[in-house]
A and B are shown apart, each in its own frame.
Chain A
Amino acid sequence: MANISLGAEVVMPVEQRRGYWSSVVRRFLRNPVAVGCAVVLLALILAAIFAPYLDLADPYKGSMIKRLRPLGTDGFPLGTDEQGRDMLARLIYGGRLTLYIGLVPVVLAFFIGTALGVTAGYAGGFVNTLIMRVVDIFFAFPSVLLAIAISGALGAGIINSLVSLTIVFIPPITRVAESVTSSVRALDYVDAARASGAGAFTIVRVHVLGNVLGPVFVYATSLTSVCMILAAGLSFLGIGVKPPEPEWGLMLNTLRTAIYINPMIAALPGIMIFITSLCLNLLSDGLRSAMNVKD
């Protein structure tokens, strides 16, 4: 049979050669909602980091005669709280702690959960059963209850809150990592890598991690807002951050007595939590679609 000339197939027009991550960035930038959310979050984070340099009022210094001033009061653009402290300063300083408590447990849980999930998913068999059944035990409890129980047992304080929230978030991340890994492991390219004689560690590093981290990362991003709300809940219950520290959840708690006197002020920390978690959720949606290679 005569040879047909090779390479004669139609070549798809492909724009300038770029790496995977730069194509993700390019697709992400085309999504105005996600970009807007990223900007808001970035502003919140920058404000939190540089709070001491922003020429704000002292967030701890109160005044008995200037309590619960409404929004727009001269010198207090966002009013004052029940002890006469500047709400703007407290909200910005509160963002430091809230974002810290919201992000750190998720980051820690992301590393630990991914390690556990990838191990379980790739090894399969007994190792999988062992890890996943232990994880299932944690699933038996609602996450709020679990966080309260662990925090309560460890005692109040920021570090204990971080530990308890990390423990709460390891199981769901492990489960997602395990299911993504199992599905990647069943693909032919992993078989092809095994057929080339590569060891399990090399295959996981080169072929599995790159395809697992994306979806797990997106999932973890969406957990950040849950984590912030849980942390706020712990503070609200008095087993997280202690007064007089500014923290959104705690502020929500202490201001709740003022809800009939000045509802706008009482709602402000809640609005901050709402905006942040909404932005995080929309951001993770945007990331999810930007990471979809086939688009």
Chain B
Amino acid sequence: MSRIDQQLDGRDRGGPAQPLILAQDLKKHFPIRSGLLNRKTATVHAVDGISFEVRKGETLGIVGESGCGKSTTARLLIGLIELDDGTIVFDGDAVGADLSLKEMRKSVQMVFQDSYASLNPRLTIEESVAFGPGVQGLSDPPKRARDLLARVGLDPDRFGQRYPHELSGGQRQRVNIARALAMSPRLVILDEAVSALDKSVEAQVLNLLADLKEEFGLTYIFISHDLNVVRFVSDRVMVMYLGEVVEVGPVEAIYARQAHPYTASLFSAMPSMDPDNRTLEPPLAGDPPNPVNPPSGCRFHTRCRFAEDICSTAKPRLDVFGSNRDHLAACHMRVPFSGHSLADVETSP
């Protein structure tokens, strides 16, 4: 299978330029079963053919509304749910061919949103952190656990023997971070990892994450709905809508100028700090369409102010936007001669 990644990417395997993760056309459809015989009656298109890369040492932010497939993408990458279609190439090795899922799991770890549900209430936090290294047969799991607890700011003598319910939310999330790091991962997926924390604790944990990233040479995927936090931590941002990637690019480029109308409306929903500069346009109304029956063409056309006929018939591809080769968007307005009246004209949505 290494053939494939040679085709996909001519860069060196395992070298610094090789992306840590190269995801090609990932698909995950969940069947909805009902009735007496449990027949498949419909399909949720949770993740529908997304491709992206995660570069070594970067933080890739993933944003989007609830149900857009952010968490499903994370679970696909970590192997908690099976891919229906697509390839994941981990540092040049295709997962499932050159590299077994089990081997990849050692290198990818995840921190979940709910700090309480992600710790076993019957285990002390030291036992929780030592569990993974024990399973993988790493040397001296208890010592490893104690070292990591100390590293995330929890004195192992004072906290090691405590149970999760005896810790605060921020402390529990530190334990979860220690648990992820105990496996010596290269990629850590932070799935809304700080969203449930209050602002002061959130800042502490974000600082801790930044320090750990530098110290252990980690790569992060940072999933969040908080655009301010994403801007603070990310190098690049990927915007998802209904199981598809609508825009991806360097954080400053996207925050300066959004190529896709969906991204623009997401950002316009961000409250402004300046009362003179407050948002006057109405925010995006309603919920996203049902992912069981995604709209044809561009999935956003049902809610888009600029939608035209072409948007409901042809699916836009991710294409370079503006002068930055890294900034991609999937919108007909950004493709010259696409048939959209605003195409090939510099228009700010």
Contacts and interface: CB of A to CB of B under 8 A. Distances in A.
Contacts of A197: 102, 105-106, 132, 135-136
Contacts of B171: 9
Contact of B207 (A3, A12, A195, A294): A3
B105 A195 contact: yes
B154 interface: yes
A193 B154 CA distance: 21
Nearest to A18: B161
A194 B161 CA distance: 23
A188 B112 contact: yes
Interface string A231-253: 00000000000000000000000
Nearest to A192: B118
Interface stretch (B12-20, B53-61, B119-127): B119-127
A17 interface: yes
B120 A20 contact: no
B121 A211 contact: yes
Contacts, number: 101
Contact of A12 (B38, B154, B166): B166
Contacts of A202: 135
B162 A9 contact: no
B179 interface: yes
Given A188-B114, A189-B119, A196 B204 contact: no
A293 interface: yes
Contacts of A211: 120-122
A191 interface: yes
B23 interface: no
A194 B80 contact: yes
A9 B170 CA distance: 8
A293 B179 contact: no
Contacts of A140: none
Contact of A189 (B117, B135, B166): B117
A196 B135 contact: yes
Interface string A90-116: 000000000000000000000000000
Nearest to B155: A7
B109 interface: yes
A8 interface: yes
Interface in B192-215: 200-201, 203-204, 207-208, 210-211
Given A7-B155, A17-B161, A195 B117 contact: no
Interface string B85-113: 00000000000000000100110111010
A294 B121 CA distance: 9
Contacts of A72: none
A195 B102 contact: no
A189 B166 CA distance: 17
A6 B153 contact: yes
A293 B121 contact: yes
Contacts of B102: 197
Contact of A9 (B122, B163, B168, B183): B168
A4 B211 CA distance: 12
B79 interface: yes
Interface of B: 38, 75, 78-80, 102, 105-106, 108-110, 112, 114, 117-123, 128, 131-132, 135-136, 152-155, 158, 161-163, 165-168, 170-171, 176, 179, 183, 200-201, 203-204, 207-208, 210-211, 232
Q: Nearest 3 pairs between A and B by C-beta?
A: A6-B153, A196-B132, A188-B118
22 contacts: A1-B232, A4-B204, A4-B207, A6-B153, A7-B154, A9-B168, A9-B170, A17-B161, A20-B122, A192-B110, A192-B132, A196-B109, A196-B135, A197-B136, A198-B131, A202-B135, A210-B120, A210-B123, A211-B122, A293-B122, A293-B163, A294-B165
Interface of A: 1, 3-4, 6-12, 14, 17, 20, 129, 187-189, 191-198, 202, 206-207, 210-211, 293-294
